[in-house]
Structure 1
Amino acid sequence: MIEQAANDRVLVAILKDVADWAIAQEQRWYRIPVASVEQSLQPHWPPAWIAFYQTKAFGAEAYAIRYYAAVTEIAKVQRCDLFPQAAPGPKDQDWYYKLMLGDVRSLPRPIPSHKLRRITFIPTTWAQLETAQAVGDLLKKRA
Structure 2
Amino acid sequence: MGQKEKLVLVGVVKRKKDLEMARKEHWYRIPLKHAPKRKAKYLALYQTRAFAKEGKAINYYASIKGSSLHKRKELLPDEENHPRSEDYYYKFNLGSLRATPYRIENRYGRRIGFAFTTFKELLGSKEISELFNIVPIEEIIRQALKNCQIRAIGGYSIMENKRLRYRLDFAIFCQKGKINIECDDLRWHSQPKQRQKDKKRDRWLKKRGWTIFRFSTEEIKNNTAKCIKILKQAIQNLGGI
Q: Percent identity?
A: 34
Letter in 2 for 1:12: V
Aligned length: 134
Alpha-carbon displacement from aligned partner over 1:81-114 (angstroms, at most 9, x marks no partner): 1112223343122111100111001111111111
Q: In 1, are the aligned partners of 2:79 and 2:85 still within 8 Å (CA)?
A: no
Partner Cα separation in structure 2 for residue 8 and residue 114 of structure 1: 26
Contact 1:80/1:92 (<8 A) preserved: yes
What is residue 13 of structure 2 aligned with on the other side? 15
Q: Give the corresponding residue for 1:100.
A: 93
Task: Please give the root-mean-square deviation of Cα atoms over the aligned residues, in Å.
Answer: 1.8
Shift of 1:6: 1.1
Instruction: Tell me if structure 1 keeps the 8 A contact 2:101–2:124.
Output: no
1:50 maps to 43
Gaps of 5+ in 1: none
| Residues 30-57 of structure 1: per-residue CA shift (max 9 Å, x gap) | 00011112xxx31xx2211001111111
CA contact (8 A) 1:122 1:138 kept: no
Query: Greater helix percent: which structure?
Result: 2
- 1:91 alignment counterpart: 84
The aligned residue for residue 54 of structure 2 is: 61
Q: Secondary structure at the match of 2:3?
A: coil
Provide structure 2 residue ranges, at least 5 long, that are not aligned to the other structure. Answer: 135-186, 188-241
Say if 2:15 and 2:50, in contact at 8 Å, map to a contact too. yes
TM-score (norm 2): 0.52
65-74 or 117-126: which moved more?
A: 117-126
SS at match of 1:75: strand
**2 CA distance for matches of 1:89 and 1:52?**
23
Q: Counterparts of 2:87 and 2:39 in 1: how far apart (Å)?
A: 20
